[in-house]
Amino acid sequence: MRPVHPLYRCIRVICLVSLFSFFYPAAGQVIVPRPEDIYEEAEQYVFAGDYQEALASYMSLYEKGYTTANISYKIGTCYLNLSGLRTKAIHFLHDASRHASRVYSGGALYEARAPVKSFLYLGIAHRINYDFDLAEKAFLTYVDSLDETDVTGRALAQYHLERCENARELIASPATLKADTLPGVINNRLSNFNPLVTDDEKILFFNEQLKFYDAVMVSHKEDYAWSVPENITPKIRSDGDHYLTGISQNGDRLLLSAHDPYMSGTIYEAENINGRWRPLKVLNDNINTRFNETHASFSKDGNTLYFTSDRPGGYGGLDLYKSERNGTGNWGPAQNLGPLVNTPYNEETPFVTGDPVILFFSSQGHYNMGGYDIFFSRRFDDGAWQHPVNIGYPVNTPDDDLFYYPLPSGEAAYKPVLHNIRADPDIVRYQILEPGKPARYTINGNIEIEDQNGAGYSDILVSVFTRPENDTIGRHHPDDNGTFSQKVPGGSFTLEITQGGYPVYSRELEIPSYFPHKELVLNASVSLPFRSALDTLILRNIRFDFDQSDIRDKARTFLDGLAMMLNKYPEITVTLNGYTDAVGSESYNVKLSLERASNARDFLSGRNIVQNRLMINGFGENYPVALNTTPDGSDVPEGRAYNRRVEIVLENIPENLTIIKGNDIPENLLIK
């Protein structure tokens, strides 16, 4: 559901004139309006997009005893369209859904039923309230209430169900960030939104909702403190219905949008020349059309305009476009940014950084947790865009998240944020310290066992580990057909398949953050020869976290398989050689390496391997297998991770046992 644009407030005067003449037809004479007329006025407000006034009218009827499912549905719909008040819709939509019916007109005050869409809206309200289980229940009930031929309704429910699952994943893997709410001189008790700052963060422009209009304000940073904001609305000749969208690097040019709900959105520019603001000017016909243009912003050099439009020829709803400034200083023909960025849903509020060029924008599509989410996409040298990436929770929420204005580096940004205590937004400066890593991609594959003689997949285990940390992402058996599926975030992974408790297949996978698909399909099925459980062993090193000697999960799986092999072949003896990276004193590292070897021995002893078959050594930082540092002395953390290990040496190996020495150290880190 698209949020109500704040510019809808401009039609309030028109509707209030109508109400004024209705309630006071003659001087000194007061006529109490009929409930039917109040309902009709509310419907007109909804048609004009003024849900605040519509809510007041519907609530007046509700308080007079008109508490039908229809009125509850109308109230819930109004709340759902009012930013900061949307969770108030839950009570009313729950009441409405109790009497939902496919047979619904909605055109009259005395309608007793509510439409089945009550369930859909109830699910959205629950999702915004972080009640994902209740949201999914409402969406599924909506599906059950639809006619079997309603393909559109079912697709819409599936869209919202996916958002709930995405939200769980994003919340489970939050970004680490610093959030600084601007001081009270900026964030007063009014609504403050659409923040724009100069590159040096010395000048801040924003909109502030005053009593009768929305003002354009400017504040200067003086001695690390913001000055009392100045209202420049009269200077740019705005009627209080223009909203900031873009700014030049030094703040001498502003882009603003205005919206007439009966016509379309329009983009304007205001310029400061020699310290004096000039009146607003409308941009040319390459930008503004008879369709809806809602937002525009400059590139850092000022020669490219990024904007939104729902003109024909797009990919659905509002799309992102760009226009280059030509030799005469005017904006040239618009170019759609293409289907990798744009979706069948709405895209909004585009902003770009400098070098490298990173596009930040809001979208109802892509890998989204509900409403509008903020995404970013880097531009390649050839002008193409990387696949957009969700910026993560808690910057994004299950509600609408719009207008994320980045600083030139892209590592910090200004954004309006709603607080729980009231419905008015404050301006917050975000700095992303570490992005989240949600499981947004799916690895799919298939396993075939040759000549299995009726043997199934019960002893096959598929595991996915991060690389080089070897943290477990997932571990499960394939289904009866040998297929498996695992969700992962972007990054480097090792896919490992074990048979009968020991590794028989390993593959390294790389999924970049801009990976353009939802799934990574292993097209070639993995074929495993059927063999007795312990006739082959892939021998690999056991790795450890920095300054730690505990056995990690992946190592436990391998050691379990090793123990099974040692129990089957009691003549084999084992030497466990411990090592560390090059950080720390030599004496400390020798001690730590011996602890690692000792813990591996204790693990095997706990699997019924007698200790006189297990020898241990501690070599400290000696004999590294990967780079600890570069030739110039720079640290190489990735290489050090491979040196923190226990190597396993087997002796007295029987002829019918095949040992394969595994090596997964990248070529660029390997000591040759």
Q: Where are the domains of the chain?
A: 6-172, 185-410, 439-533, 534-672
- The pLDDT score that the predictor gives to residue 516 is 61
Let me know: does 130 contact 172? Beta carbons within 8 Å: no
Average pLDDT over every residue of 539-567:
87
Q: How far apart are CA 336 and CA 312, in angstroms?
A: 11
Q: Of 13-22, 341-350, 422-431, 661-670, which has the strongest mean pLDDT?
A: 341-350
Average pLDDT over every residue of 492-497:
86
pLDDT per residue as tens digits for the range 29-55:
567 789 999 999 999 999 888 999 999
pLDDT above 80 (res 10): no
Q: Any idea what DSSP says for residue 379?
A: B
Q: Do domains 185-410 and 534-672 have the same CATH topology?
A: no
Q: Of 16-25, 187-196, 476-485, which has the strongest mean pLDDT?
A: 187-196
- The pLDDT score that the predictor gives to residue 3 is 38
Question: Of 112-121, 312-321, 358-367, 461-470, which gets the smallest average pLDDT?
Answer: 461-470
Ramachandran region, residue 150 (left: φ > 0; alpha: ψ -120 to 50; beta: rest): beta
- The pLDDT score that the predictor gives to residue 310 is 95
pLDDT above 50 (res 69): yes
Question: Of 23-32, 274-283, 406-415, 650-659, which gets the smallest average pLDDT?
Answer: 23-32
Let me know: does 656 contact 643? Beta carbons within 8 Å: no
Query: Could you say which of 3.30.1330.60, 3.40.50.720, 1.10.490.20, 3.30.465.10 is the CATH number of the domain covering 534-672?
Result: 3.30.1330.60
* Sequence-ordered list of residues with C-beta below 8 angstroms from that of 392, at least 6 positions apart, any chain: 170, 173, 174, 175, 432, 435, 436, 438
Q: Any idea what DSSP says for residue 669?
A: T
pTM exceeds 0.95 for this model = no
Q: Of 128-137, 255-264, 490-499, which has the strongest mean pLDDT?
A: 128-137
Q: How far apart are CA 432 and CA 164, in angstroms?
A: 24
Helices and strands in the chain: count of H runs, count of E runs: 11, 38
DSSP letters of 387-451? PPEE--TTTS-SS-----EE-TTSSEEEEEEE-TT-SSEEEEEEEEEE------EEEEEEEEEET
- Burial code (b: 16+ CB inside 10 Å, e: under 16) for 407-434 equals beebebbbbbbbeeeeebbbbbbbebee
pLDDT per residue as tens digits for the range 470-479:
777 888 888 8
- Domain at 6-172: CATH architecture: Alpha Horseshoe (1.25)
Q: Label residue 577 by pLDDT band (50, 70, 90).
A: very high
Q: What is the mean pLDDT of the chain?
A: 87
- Domain at 439-533: CATH architecture: Sandwich (2.60)
pLDDT above 90 (res 467): no
pLDDT above 80 (res 411): yes
Q: How far apart are CA 320 and CA 299, in angstroms?
A: 14
Using DSSP's 3-state secondary structure scheme, residue 554 falls into helix
Domain 185-410 has CATH 2.120.10.30: yes
H-helix segments, 173-302 = none
341 φ, ψ (degrees, to nearest 5)? -90, -50
Rg (CA), the chain: 32
Let me know: does 226 contact 182? Beta carbons within 8 Å: yes
Average pLDDT over every residue of 174-194:
93
Q: How far apart are CA 650 and CA 604, in angstroms?
A: 14
